[in-house]
Structure 1
């Protein structure tokens, strides 16, 4: 599709003279801007800080879709999401899910048991770093029936990214207090005050299960969708050593498959 200049102008005019915007107002303005440039099915925006539960800022889902894309996601699967890992690494710009995903992501148990429920063909995110190690991610999603974003549309998103980043910086900031309130209200049990904000998710998920630090790192990468070869490269160990650790983990946990590993992982996050 081409650029709808009238719709783009109308969307931008809603920001003129405004010093603040609510989450809903910003989300709706973002949707209007995006609709003038590309076609998409859903929009969702999350704020991420370390391993804390992401804050749901805005979405276009109906109630049933919200359960899958937001409620279930916040319950624990976000730890395995490539977008989450890119966010806590403070990546910036417009990034595609398929470019961030590990080499075995689309055959992983996480993909088959959770991500496939979304019915998405592609997800593209605007990653914007804001205050206190917080990253805002505004995602555009397309269903399988529509297919992925063609190169010409992705180029438009890259071109508009500086504007979106500037708007996020102006209207969506000061999130540290919102994360602190979430923690103080007891809504987030994944982060301990005496631990670093960027602590590995595996450390939290596998507490009390008698796994070594190396074993927790490996099973975390397995569940994210990394092959033994990819894990070896990331941890600078041999593929054979990775496989030995995986066998030891399965023995310790009394399991025999990645399906059981994912089930145990998700139960530990409840």
Structure 2
């Protein structure tokens, strides 16, 4: 049997003006002057191909494979979000340490973004309680790498791959005071729960004074204008008490053993 591909040229179309590469058809000026194998085996070539979209797909795939592989046996875990700018002398930092400690005592691993500030605080609490402290880092121009309290760390290039790991392996979210990144993670989780893309799970906001303005706006503007339902807001619980926050997570769903 011949391996030659059938001739699917249009009538009158020269063979050299057409190339079939898998499902992709190239014609006329889109046909490259060299083959894929030739470019692969050439020793002296620019590295621009590393940034081409097809190669990015492979990098994206590798991030999912690495993430799933590293976290598949993690067990019950809770994600803790918060600002990288939280200072160690900020009350929110102490709150994060306590949250991390209490989660470990209740049988959970702690997952954060792996950075400094509030994320470091939660990792520190989990570390000091001798639990599993996970950091899902992200490649940013101003990031300093994973904090020293992370036992299991994964660095991602892509935010969306990182977000999947948070959602897939967390039984709930505890959200400390934070900025745009924290708000992004919070509202993505709420949107996926609202649209039933994920099983509903508890979301606890830590810091009544910090979050009250947002909650007032959601109730007084967004809800009043019919953009969300009251059930959407019922997903949010706000407290200043780390014990209450962890209790809410614990009573929502008992961890599987």
State the TM-score, normalized to the length of structure 2: 0.30
Larger radius of gyration: 2
Tell me which protein shows more helix as a share of its residues: 1
Q: Which has the higher contact order (CA 8 A, sep 6+)?
A: 1
State the TM-score, normalized to the length of structure 1: 0.29
